[in-house]
Homo-oligomer: A and B are copies of this chain.
Amino acid sequence: MKQTTVIRLKKVELDRPVLIEGLPGVGHVGKLVADHIVAELKAEKIMEIYSPHLPPQVLVQGDGTIRLVRNEVYAYRAKNGRDMLIIVGDHQSVTNEGHYELCGVFLDIAEEFGVERIYTIGGYGVGQLVETDSVLGACTGKEFVDELSGYGVEFRENEPGGGIVGISGVLLGLAKLRGIEAACLMGITSGYLVDPKSAQSVLKVLCKIFGLDLNMQALQDRAAEMEKIVAKLREMEQGQQPYESTTSEDDLRYIG
């Protein structure tokens, strides 16, 4: 395989869908959000995308079967409300050029379905444990900024200072060049841990935007577990106490 390859599993008709992208990144916020939407909306997988720019790796599933790492496109046909395309996956590109190439492939798909708006989801790592449900935004155009401000998305001057790196950034940038409106929603997170709480904050904003009423139990459960771990980490930090054996190995499986 020398080229990025799109395998089409199913043909669907969608009415001017929005595209939501959530691949693994800072705090896994994007992946948590997009996976949750796919699960709750029972969206249907319509494409698999394989690429030599993804890691050379297969994943081993619970039943002993494998699958090559990939990105996937899911389709959701709304009864009332917005149709959606959702991009999820195991990894982002591991090469510099791969980010540009894969975003080009995603945008070709978006244009094929007449997508007019793209939402990319990520985490904004601030380097310390934080208690906030702020969601930071960045958009291709000023009206989109104003519109999202109305949903509580924050736009802070010079943040993120380093720009947005990786798929969520490049997809915005290349969408702008093709005249497609796009926004990145970033949950604020420490950047050290998988952060289902930050994912919830972003998801709430998306639900408001699309008038969706999604069950958040799964994310809440994971967030509750992470909070216990975070509480312990804080204790250890403050008391400089040695690692306590009461934190079971099981809890820690959620870190990283």
Contact = CB atoms under 8 A, between A and B. Distances in A.
A11 B145 CA distance: 31
A172 B169 CA distance: 32
A95 interface: yes
Nearest to A70: B173
A69 interface: yes
Contacts of A94: 96
Number of chain copies forming the complex: 4
A177 B50 contact: yes
B169 A64 contact: no
Contact of A97 (B60, B95, B159): B95
A137 interface: yes
Contacts of A165: 55-57
A66 B145 CA distance: 10
A176 B55 contact: no
Contact of A100 (B1, B138, B159, B166): B1
Given A60-B160, A164-B60, A169-B58, A97 B53 contact: yes
A83 to B, nearest CB: 25
A176 to B, nearest CB: 7
